Each structure stands twice: as C-alpha cells, then as structure tokens.
C-alpha cells in the first residue's frame, strides 16, 4: 500500500530463473543452427581434390652439368692417415720416410700394421664367399705383394683365401687365418705417402679414426670443396670439367678436391683477389644429351626409388635424376616415355612408385 511508506522489493529470484531457462533453450538452438549451416556449405577441400591429370611432353636438350663449389686459396694441409686398430703403439712411423703398399707403418701391441695404397680403403671384414669392389682392392694389394697370382675379379675364392692366410702369417696373425681383418692395414691414399709429421708416439694408445701421420702440405694450390656426395650429384660430369670464377676458367678433375697446376691456381687467385675464399661453378667439359621433365613429375617411393608416370593409369617408370633446377629435372636421354604426368602429387596415381 502506498500509505504505509515502504517500497516493494524487486523479485530477483524469479528474474534469474527466467534468464537461466532462456539460456538453456537458446544455446542448443544456436548450436543446431550452426551445424545446419556448416552441413549445407560446400566442402572446399573436397572441391580442391577434384583435379584433372596434366600430361606434358618430354623434351630433350644438350646441357653441360653445373655445380656450385667453395674455393680456398693457399696451402692445402697434408692428408691425415688414421688408425684402424685399438691398442698401444710399440713402434711408431718415421718422419720423412715414404710408405708404399705392404710397408710396415707402425706396430700396435707388437703386431705390424701395414700400409695399403688404393683408391679406397677396406671398410669391412672379408672372408670366403664375399663379393665386391673392396674384395678387388684386397686382391690388387695381395697381387702387388706377390701373395696372389690370379687376376683380381672381386670374388673371395679359394685362391684369395690362401693368399690372405699367407699375408696374415707374415703379419704375425696366425698360420692359417683365411679372413681379412681391415685393422691389419692402414689406407694411406691412392699413391705412396711421404710422412711429413708423426702424430703418435711409442707408448701412446691408438684406435680407429685416430690420426697417426700427416702427409706434406700442398703449397700454392686452390682447395675445391664440393657439395656432399660430390659434384656428380648435380649432373653427369664425366672425368673432365672446368672451374669458372668470373671470366676465368681452368681445368678441374671432379672429385680431386684441388687445382694444383701453378698457372691455373694463380689465375684463380687473381680472380678471387683480394679475397682468399669464394664460390665458383664447376662446369662439365662436354655437353650431354638429357631428357627434361617438370620437377613436379618426380615421385619419391617409400624405398627411395624415384619414378615418373606416362599418365594417370600408367605403370611407374623408375628413373635416376641427373640434375636440374627449381622447375625442371634432368633425366637420362633414353627415358622410354614421350610424355609424363606433371601433377602426380595432386591426382595420386593408381600404382605406387617402387623398384
């Protein structure tokens, strides 16, 4: 009543109850409406997946393979020869001496470790039945030392086993050991080595990978640092190439790692001056015929195989890339396809790439 002087209190409890009820009804309706809108909308991923196969012709060109290398002008440090066996040095190499295949380089635990001159080292233990390039290198060493009279063939047969047994007997490894332990030799490189510095001493402990001697430095040369795997990973160079620095072009043997001719080294030094380091291009001496395809046409299989496809339903063709750039890939000229699928990554061929 107005006459009693008291204000009527608001009904706050009822108001809150209506707000809660309204929220419980409206929120689900909004959720259903959003779901309906999304369901009605077109799926952009599904639309993007509907891509047509693109097939393009294979072209051919005569190209000179190229690769980027780093150059350093100055003295190239002598190559370090590392040990292959663990033990105590009981006889050390002699500085100034020249070592060739079969020469005793040092003694470890009173057993001789002999030098091996070859294009590459022995990298595993070898025995009867083994086959490979390392077996051939072993046979060539045994033939050089007079233990093997048969022509090297890369097969570890009975004659090789007898030759190894004689080699081991003379090396103090027992009278009838027919297996070759790579720790019994030290690879000193592709030619005899003059020891400029001895890096071990009698009483010291050595092990695989520990430097034992260093060869002489090569003065006034240009050291060429090739990319991992060598320049051949960028194309077909063959055995002859050129290093190009600006307007200067000098001969270079891929894989050699140095320009040793005094005249050529001086020309590169002048081209780099005043710097003593820089980059250059190694360019193949002769052009090679290659097939060109889009870089997008290459597919990498789970086993590391690289393939191209003639079309969407075609069988994969295994290829060996020779080089290329951002947009194209160079393949062998005898690629047996006239056209390739340019977008296999978008259309997903029926048959996976595998060897």
- Which bin fits 306, alpha (ψ -120 to 50), beta or left (φ > 0)? beta
> Could you give the residue ranges of the DSSP H alpha helices within the chain?
12-40, 44-49, 133-144, 158-170, 262-272, 344-347
Write the pLDDT tens digit of every residue in 281-322: 999 888 888 899 999 999 998 888 899 999 888 999 999 887
Residue 213: which pLDDT band, with cuts at 50, 70 and 90?
very high
Q: What percent of the chain has pLDDT over 90?
A: 53
Query: pTM here?
Result: 0.48
CA 210, CA 231: separation in Å to the nearest integer? 28
Work out the average pLDDT over 233-258. 84
Q: What percent of the chain has pLDDT over 70?
A: 84
CB 80 within 8 A of CB 213: yes
Residue 21: which pLDDT band, with cuts at 50, 70 and 90?
very low
DSSP-derived 3-state class of residue 131? strand
Strand order in the sheet with 104-108: 185-189, 111-117, 104-108, 87-91, 205-206
Q: DSSP string covering 231-290, please?
A: GGGGS--TT-EEEEETTEEEEE-TTS-EE--HHHHHHHHHHHTT-SEEEEEEEESS-EEE
- Which bin fits 132, alpha (ψ -120 to 50), beta or left (φ > 0)? left
Higher-scoring residue by pLDDT: 208, 349: 208
């Amino acid at each position: 009543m107005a006459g009693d002087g008291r204000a009527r209190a608001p009904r706050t409890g009822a108001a809150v109850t209506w707000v809660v009820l309204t929220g419980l009804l409206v929120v689900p309706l909004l959720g259903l409406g959003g779901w309906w809108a999304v369901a009605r909308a077109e799926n952009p991923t599904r639309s993007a997946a509907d891509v047509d196969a693109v097939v393009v012709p294979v072209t051919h060109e005569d190209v000179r393979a190229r690769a980027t290398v780093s150059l350093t002008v100055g003295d190239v440090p002598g190559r370090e020869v590392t040990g292959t066996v663990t033990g105590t040095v009981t006889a050390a190499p002699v500085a100034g001496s020249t070592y060739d295949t079969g020469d005793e380089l040092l003694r470890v635990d009173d057993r001789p470790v002999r030098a091996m001159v070859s294009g590459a080292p022995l990298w595993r233990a070898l025995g009867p039945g083994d086959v490979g390039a390392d077996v051939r290198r072993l046979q060539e060493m045994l033939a050089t030392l007079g233990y093997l009279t048969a022509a090297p063939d890369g097969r570890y047969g009975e004659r090789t086993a007898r030759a190894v047994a004689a080699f081991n007997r003379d090396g103090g490894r027992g009278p009838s050991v027919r297996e070759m332990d790579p720790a019994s030799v030290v690879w000193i490189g592709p030619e005899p080595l003059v020891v400029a510095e001895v890096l071990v001493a009698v009483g010291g402990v050595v092990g695989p990978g520990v430097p034992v001697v260093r060869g002489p430095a090569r003065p006034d040369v240009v050291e060429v640092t090739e990319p991992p795997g060598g320049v051949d990973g960028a194309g077909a160079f063959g055995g002859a190439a050129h290093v190009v620095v600006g307007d200067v072009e000098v001969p270079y043997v891929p894989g050699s790692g140095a320009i040793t001719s005094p005249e050529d080294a001086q020309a590169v030094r002048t081209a780099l001056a005043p710097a003593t380091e820089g980059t250059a291009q190694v360019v193949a001496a002769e052009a090679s015929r290659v097939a060109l395809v889009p870089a997008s046409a290459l597919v990498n299989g789970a086993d590391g195989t690289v393939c191209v496809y003639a079309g969407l339903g075609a069988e994969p063709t295994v290829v060996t890339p020779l080089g290329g750039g951002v947009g194209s890939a160079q393949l062998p000229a005898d690629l047996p396809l006239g056209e390739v699928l340019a977008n296999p990554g978008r259309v997903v061929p029926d048959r996976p790439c595998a060897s």
